[in-house]
A and B are shown apart, each in its own frame.
Chain A
Amino acid sequence: MRGFAIFAFLVFARTSGAGICPVVSEIQALPVAGGSEWIEISNLTETVVSLGDWSLGDGTTEVLLDSGAAVPADGQLVLAYDCTRLREQFGTASIRCVQPGRWSQLSTQSDRVVLRDAFGATCDSVEWSARTWGDWPTGRSMERVDLHRSGNDAANWTASSNPNGGTPGWLTNSVLEPIGAGISIEMVSRRAATGSRSAVVRLHAPWNARLEAGVWDLSRRRMATIFDGQIPASGELAWDGGVLRPGVYVMLLEFRTQGKDVAARFREWVVVEK
């Protein structure tokens, strides 16, 4: 019995990196048309983690992963419904991707991803719903902000700010904030000139916040609406002055996180040049 325990510990240590499991680090449940659903797994150790006999499930169905699959040390592995489509979409064949034998379609309304090791122990699980995560941004993945924090905390996930809609196989720090984060802005540039230069505002706000931005002249007359929608994936608002005449204008930015109430309001001046 004692010998078995030592053997089991050694196997566990070898497969899960001395007891530290890989974690689900990014999920794409609503790809663009023709794209593939995928789940990214990150290895937080300096040891390769073999996924032989590991399984992926949603709590009711379990799928064994490819016995040859492994997550590289300090690296990522992507589990996808269709690896070929995924690589085509992101224009690179270098994405380390594995297709499970069967794929249970992910739901944006309410779903769960459970990663179990070879012994059936839960290594990591992530559960989400539209109520806690908000409406899934079409064509954009959700990224785990802190890989060492719980995956079931909605405040630990944010929409990808990558222009491609996600970063399968590589880690990035999204410039967008998770739900519940505070709201602030930062003026990067106040100068705008039509077609050649943009006034830029860096937005620090929950990824699901809505932003309405407009421009007023100094007589308080509304001159233009420059943005109305979910905050840009880039986390920046850029405006080149449009058709306005040269001069000083005031930019008003209003953020709404839930409902119609304005959660935060900011005013900044900008100069439209010739």
Chain B
Amino acid sequence: MPNASQVGMGGVPVAWSPEGGSKEANPALADARSGWFAGAGLTHPFGLADLDLSGLWAGRGRSGWVPGFAFRWKNLRAGNLHTEDRWDLDVATGDGNWQAGAGMRWGRAEFADGGSDWIQGCALGAVAKPHPLLAAGLSWEDASVFGTSDARMVQPWLARAGLVAQARDSSWTSSVSLEKRQDKSLSWAMGQELRWQVLRLRAGLRLEPWTLAIGAGVRWQGVGLDWAQEGDPRLGWQQHWTVSVEL
């Protein structure tokens, strides 16, 4: 998901969702905040023209007996040769010390030769706060668990774990996350966010594959604009832009 507030921290925090976050790393994060939220993001992967990745998300934190929920749509377009859409729906509940969530995953890809593929899967996740300033999260996702149109489209499972520490006044946040895809090596990321009034500054590092990320954002009265640049010198850099609102 082209979400600058997450990408600017080197990856997607599993135990915490930054302001304006799309909360994609863990279904339990759908209940991470109260109130309505929405956002949109855009990037050109690898900085390549004609390769567009865009996303929209919206949701609401738990309200009374209604659990928190989040909806996301992601679209990848490669010229007129390929389009890929992905829809996620997460539902989560909990209290101040924990949240648990589950989600559905749908996807469809279309190719210039007329071929297409689709996927149906699910995700599970949980977040615990053993200390007011510390959160730990776990999530698991398999976008093919309910079926695929073709074995070649199978998405392997993806497991994530993460820790987040935050200052009492939220002036800084540190995160560490691990990611393991079924047929890939372990990847980890660490990130840091600093807040000063309306300004947010972020930096992150990811290994396997290694990438650097920096980001900045402004947030005023619930409306935010975020930017991040990530990548490496060999494969190139990509910039993410995100607008978001939280009520």
Contacts and interface: CB of A to CB of B under 8 A. Distances in A.
Interface of A: 190-191, 193, 216, 218-222, 245-248, 250, 252, 265, 267-269, 271, 273-274
Contacts of A268: 48
B131 interface: no
Contacts of B154: 245
Contact of B78 (A216, A220, A265, A269): A269
B150 interface: yes
Interface in B146-160: 150, 152-154
Q: Size range of the interface on B? A: 20 to 34
A165 to B, nearest CB: 35
B48 A267 contact: yes
B198 interface: no
A268 B154 CA distance: 25
B117 A274 contact: yes
A220 B209 contact: yes
B191 interface: no
Contacts of B153: 245-246
A252 B209 CA distance: 15
13 contacts: A190-B81, A191-B113, A218-B46, A221-B209, A245-B152, A245-B154, A247-B84, A248-B82, A248-B84, A250-B45, A250-B48, A267-B48, A268-B48
A219 B234 CA distance: 14
Interface of B: 45-48, 50-51, 53, 76, 78-79, 81-82, 84, 109, 111-113, 115, 117, 150, 152-154, 184, 209, 211, 231-232, 234-236
Contacts of B236: 267
B75 to A, nearest CB: 12
Contacts of A221: 184, 209
A202 B78 CA distance: 20
B209 A246 contact: no
Nearest to A268: B48
A252 B153 CA distance: 24
Given A190-B81, A274-B111, A265 B48 contact: no
Contacts of A218: 45-46, 53, 76
A246 B48 contact: no
B51 A274 contact: no
B78 A246 contact: no
Contacts of B79: 190
A182 to B, nearest CB: 21
A273 B78 contact: no
B141 to A, nearest CB: 14
Nearest to A265: B234
